[in-house]
Amino acid sequence: MKDFSPLEKKLGVKFKNKDLLTQAFVHRSYLNENPELGLEQNERLEFLGDAVLELVVTEHLYKEFPDKAEGELTNWRAALVNAKMLSTLAEELGFNNFLLLSRGEAKELGKARQYILANTYESFVGSLYLDLGYQESEKFIKKYLLPKLPEIIEKKLYKDAKSYFQEQSQDKVGVTPAYKVIKEWGPDHKKKFTVGVYLDNDLVAEGEGYSKQEAEEEAAKKALEVKKWSSK
């Protein structure tokens, strides 16, 4: 079993329940090869951490930007908590060295690893919340994630294809796009999705990804091309 004390030292946290810390890094695939581990995989922690993360970020945006409308704050929050941002941050924090993966999954890099890292960041927040409470989780998120916000605002990184396509659709045809999963396949730990983006009942484009969010973003990019609505 890995020694997580270097990570605790680096992050400035001290878990009371070390099993909770370990569980945050247990990918579903690892248990297939190590059923005797005695811990669950991290997906339930990820579910909890996602909610804690959203609350901390939402509260911060609400208090810090009283003059901003809900729509703009929603876009900023989405840019802060999306898979790309969380996986980049998880990598910066050294999470890659502590992932508990199957031998096959350990060889997979690229997009698949990106989503594992993003999910692990959320599960770590969930374990931190359960073990040390809301304040410690908030402190962790404010220390490492929220400093990314000024760059997001300055470089307009929140203007992703999905939000831009929505703006253009509402402006040009008066319709809000809808996204539907057309197909999903693959094992649970590495599912892929095909999502369609619709204007009213018309399918404009499809996108694929390792998460619904990624597939929706890809569909929006293609829809902008189909409609010849220049992106940004």
Instruction: Classify residue 25: in a domain, yes or no.
Output: yes
pLDDT for residue 232: 47
pLDDT for residue 82: 87
**What CATH code is carried by the domain that includes residue 184?**
3.30.160.20
Instruction: Classify residue 126: in a domain, yes or no.
Output: yes
Say yes or no: 171 and 147 in one domain. no
- 50 is known as an active-site residue: yes
pLDDT for residue 189: 72
- 160 is known as an active-site residue: no
- Total number of domains in the chain: 2
Mean pLDDT of successive 10-residue stretches along the chain, which has 232 residues: 92 95 95 91 96 97 94 88 92 96 86 90 98 97 96 82 87 92 87 94 93 90 89 48
Say yes or no: 147 and 165 in one domain. no
Instruction: Classify residue 53: in a domain, yes or no.
Output: yes
What distance in Å separates the CA atoms of residue 79 and residue 167, rounded to the nearest whole number? 16
For the whole prediction, is pTM greater than 0.85? no
Q: Active-site residue among 50, 131, 138, 160? A: 50
Question: What range does the domain containing 200 cover?
Answer: 161-227
Q: Active-site residue among 43, 91, 105, 122? A: 122
Say yes or no: 218 and 168 in one domain. yes
Instruction: Characterize 150-183 residue by residue with b for buried, 16 or more Cβ atoms within 10 angstroms of its Cβ, and e for exposed.
Output: eebeeeebbebbbbbbbebbeeeeeeebebeeee
